[in-house]
Amino acid sequence: MELIIDRLTKQYKNKIAVDRISLTLKEGVYGLLGENGSGKTTLMRMICGVLKPTSGDVKFDGIDVSEEEYRDSLGYLPQDFGYYPEFTACDFLLYMGSLKGLTKIRAKEKASELLELVGLSDVSKKKIRTYSGGMKQRLGIAQAMLNNPKILILDEPTSGLDPKERIHFRNLISRLGKDRIVLLSTHIVSDVEYIASTILMMKDGQIILQGSLEEIIGAIEGKVFECSVDKKTAANLIANYPIINIREESDRTFLRLVADKPPCETAVVVPAILEDLYLYYFNEGATGNE
């Protein structure tokens, strides 16, 4: 099982949204991490065949993205998941099953199986308009899984969910990644920190880092410092270094920042985490030693 993305590019007039991305994905959960506007959705829409690339190819086990056989292997949950609010969850899945070519008997079997999988069996006869955001997103996963896809594409699936719903959703995605390729895009660090076997960090249309959590954090290991300083020193550090965190204390300022060497006498090196790496690359004020 192999999804090959070869020099994929999308250009809109003078803007390059996706810039010659090449990736090879196999079974597992891939976290596509980047700020809004980094090109994540454009990349995913091209992988799904919804958007035609300016150049480059997408193939799954040698099958081109334009072919029907490719689409038969694909499940997609877009950022704006469309549903019929007056439908029950069961009716909605039966309807979507018919659109995907499932027989009525098979659609019923899959709907029952998937509603159980996503934890909606007990509310399957309730109208979707009564569902919470997390329940709607779980229903979105169920509809994306109707054809038992080998490739599952999820675009910002946890945006707007509360912490409890986000954890439930992450656990579900983790289980689904055992025997298929799952590509999850987000700008929420914790969504990928706990479940992605491989993290892809995207900025300005390019993949700038890729690897396991430990591998990509290595890019700033030994460069994250914490210190408590006076207001004048704090102002100087804030002006010259990528700042991860600021906390005002009584007469001091606590800072967590990234630097190639200790930025002040009181600075102590601390273990790096994924949030440090993310803020280092996407902090607008991070211009000092980046």
205 and 235 both lie in a single domain: no
88 and 144 both lie in a single domain: yes
What pLDDT is attached to residue 209? 93
245 and 110 both lie in a single domain: no
Give per-residue pLDDT as tens, 82-138.
888 899 999 999 999 988 888 999 999 999 999 998 889 999 999 999 998 888 888
| Residue 289 included in any domain | no
Give per-residue pLDDT as tens, 6-60.
999 999 988 999 999 999 999 999 999 988 889 999 999 999 999 999 999 999 9
State which of 217, 234, 261 marks the end of a domain: 217
| Residue 288 included in any domain | no
Query: 242-251, long-range: CB within 8 Å, 24+ apart, which pairs?
Result: 242/279, 242/280, 242/283, 242/285, 242/286, 242/287, 242/288, 242/289, 242/290, 243/283, 243/285, 243/286, 244/275, 244/276, 244/279, 244/280, 244/283
Helix (H) or strand (E) holding 183: strand 181-186
- Split at pLDDT 50, 70, 90, the class of 284 is low
The one-character DSSP state at 134 is H
Query: Who's near 4: CB < 8 A, 6+ residues apart?
Result: 23, 24, 25, 57, 58, 59, 60
Q: Which residues of 210-222 are buried (b: 16+ CB within 10 A; e: fewer)?
A: eeebeebbeebee
What pLDDT is attached to residue 235? 92
What pLDDT is attached to residue 36? 84
44 and 78 both lie in a single domain: yes
What pLDDT is attached to residue 285? 45
pTM: 0.86
175 and 277 both lie in a single domain: no
- Split at pLDDT 50, 70, 90, the class of 61 is very high
How many domains, the chain?
2
The one-character DSSP state at 122 is G
State which of 217, 240, 270 marks the end of a domain: 217
Residue 252 one-letter amino acid = R
Does residue 81 sit in helix, strand or coil?
Answer: coil
135 and 162 both lie in a single domain: yes
| Residue 290 included in any domain | no
Could you tell me the residue range of the domain that residue 210 belongs to?
3-217
Sheet holding 253-258, edge to edge: 243-248, 253-258, 224-229, 268-269
Give per-residue pLDDT as tens, 248-279.
988 899 999 999 899 999 999 999 999 899 88
| Residue 262 included in any domain | yes
21 and 141 both lie in a single domain: yes
- Per DSSP, which regions of 214-266 are E strands? 224-229, 243-248, 253-258
| Residue 56 included in any domain | yes
286: pLDDT strictly greater than 50: no
172-201 mean pLDDT: 87
| Residue 213 included in any domain | yes
Give per-residue pLDDT as tens, 201-246.
999 999 999 999 999 999 899 999 999 999 999 999 999 898 989 9
| Residue 89 included in any domain | yes
CATH (domain of 189):
3.40.50.300
Strand partners of residue 209? 201
109 and 238 both lie in a single domain: no
State which of 177, 198, 217 marks the end of a domain: 217
| Residue 287 included in any domain | no
50 and 90 both lie in a single domain: yes
277 and 259 both lie in a single domain: yes
136 and 230 both lie in a single domain: no
Residue 187, token pair as written in the block: 């700008």
287: pLDDT strictly greater than 70: no
What pLDDT is attached to residue 267? 94
34 and 102 both lie in a single domain: yes
Residue 21, token pair as written in the block: 């991305």
